[in-house]
């Protein structure tokens, strides 16, 4: 399968998973503000690794991953119905702390901007 088709299928899976996650009723998933950071699809479309992050931190992301693993059958069935692909890949969910990490960097950068403004006003 060509690289372009895999990239397109990966983007389709990411888009549909985002919509499916909003419909889940599991409190571990529904109560958390989770985002899909990255989706990796194998060349033979047999496995799909979904990296999930939560605004509340890594512990909350791990809790959401537990909820996603328990509802993976439903998610996989919905994904197959929406994308109409012959073989729906097996979903592997992994927690990552990239949202928390980027929010921390943003706070640090905002702190630096304030210090720069103070120094320029003193001169």
Q: What would the mean pLDDT of 99-112 be, rounded to a whole number?
A: 80
Neighbour-count burial of 81, counting CB atoms closer than 10 A to its CB (0-12 exposed, 13-18 middle, 19+ buried): exposed
Nearest C-alpha neighbor of 54 from the set 75, 71, 36: 36
Q: What is the CATH number of the domain that holds 55?
A: 3.30.300.20
> pLDDT value at position 91?
94
Inside any domain, residue 29 = yes
The pTM of the whole model exceeds 0.85: no
Does residue 99 or residue 87 have the better pLDDT?
A: 87
Inside any domain, residue 107 = no
Inside any domain, residue 108 = no
Check pLDDT > 70 for residue 119: no
Inside any domain, residue 110 = no
Q: What six digits make up the tokens of 96?
A: 């990552």
Inside any domain, residue 14 = yes
C-beta neighbour count of 123 within 10 angstroms: 4
Inside any domain, residue 27 = yes
Inside any domain, residue 89 = yes
Q: Which structural domain range is residue 17 located in?
A: 3-97
Inside any domain, residue 91 = yes
Say if residues 25 and 18 touch (Cβ distance below 8 Å). no
> pLDDT value at position 18?
92
Check pLDDT > 80 for residue 118: no
Counted domains in the chain: 1
For the segment 1-48, what is each residue's pLDDT rounded down to a tens digit? 567 888 999 999 999 999 999 888 888 888 878 889 999 999 888 999
């Amino acid at each position: 399968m060509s690289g372009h088709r895999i990239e397109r299928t990966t983007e389709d899976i990411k888009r549909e998973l985002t919509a499916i996650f909003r419909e889940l009723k599991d409190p571990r998933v529904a109560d958390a503000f989770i985002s899909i950071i990255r989706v990796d699809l194998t060349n033979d479309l047999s496995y799909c690794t979904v990296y999930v992050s939560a605004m509340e931190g890594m512990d909350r992301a791990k809790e959401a991953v537990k909820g996603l693993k328990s509802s993976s059958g439903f998610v996989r069935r919905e994904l197959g119905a929406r994308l109409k692909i012959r073989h729906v890949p097996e979903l592997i969910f992994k927690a990552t702390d990239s949202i928390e990490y980027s929010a921390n960097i943003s706070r640090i950068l905002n702190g630096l901007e304030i210090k720069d403004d103070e120094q320029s006003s003193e001169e």
